[in-house]
Copies of this chain bind each other. A is one copy, B any other.
Amino acid sequence: MNARRRSHDRTETIMQTALDLALEVGYAKLSMEAVAARAGVGKDTIYRRWPSKALLFLDAVLSSRTQGLEHPDTGDIVADLRQVMTRACDLLGRPPWGPLYQDLIGEAQHNPEVAAALNERFIQPQAADTLARIKAAQEQGQLAPDFDLDLAFELLSGPLYFRLLITHEPLTPAYVDRVLQAVFAGMGPRPQP
């Protein structure tokens, strides 16, 4: 095993240990000392890579289990959005990732560095992927030709995050269907054909 591989493994071990401990004691009580002790490394080793507990936790949460949030293109925009939104609900709405992600968002409320990195590494790539997929759908006539595409990601994600962070109501496939149905149909009266 060469030095780079050992360093990679150690990084993985430290991040996994941070997640394990956060699930056991809660993010608020997570300490760099405890991570170092359980991972079997010196505190200096951790601080060399992550200047704060918040940045270690950010890296650990975003490095784990976030695959599958890219839209397929089956030609059916509703089916493709449903697939990604359902996957997002599975991820956000359940242990272990859901509570860890909620803690990360909690931290982001008073830590601008964490907030910026969360957006850059996790939110913006999803927004760009959604925009690309719905642009193609609009060109194919599957969306209203004048719909404000730049708003679509916020309209579709907003209700899921509102449940996750505010009301704590369950994030289910049935909820995804309701959101899609409502956003596609619109709240205003439709012109009579």
Q: Footprint of B on A, CB under 8 Å?
A: 26-28, 102-103, 105-110, 115, 118-119, 123, 141-148, 151-152, 154-155, 157-163, 165-168, 178-179, 181-193
Q: Contact between A151 and B159 (Cβ–Cβ < 8 Å)? A: yes
Q: Contact between B141 and A189 (Cβ–Cβ < 8 Å)? A: yes
Interface of chain A, main secondary structure: helix
Top 10 closest pairs, chain A to chain B, by CB? A186-B186, A158-B158, A106-B109, A184-B188, A158-B159, A158-B162, A106-B106, A154-B159, A102-B109, A191-B193
CA gap between A158 and B154 in the complex, in Å: 8
Q: Contact between A123 and B166 (Cβ–Cβ < 8 Å)? A: yes
List, in ascending order, chain B residues with CB within 8 A of A106's CB. 105-110
Q: Contact between A186 and B189 (Cβ–Cβ < 8 Å)? A: no
Contact (A119, B167) CB under 8 Å given A160-B158, A191-B190: yes
Q: Which of B103, B152, B161, B166 contacts A166 (CB 8 A)?
A: B161
Q: Contact between A185 and B188 (Cβ–Cβ < 8 Å)? A: yes
List, in ascending order, chain B residues with CB within 8 A of A26's CB. 110
List, in ascending order, chain B residues with CB within 8 A of A103's CB. 109-110
**CB of A24, distance to nearest CB on chain B (Å):** 13
Contact (A157, B162) CB under 8 Å given A182-B148, A189-B143: yes
Q: Contact between B187 and A188 (Cβ–Cβ < 8 Å)? A: no
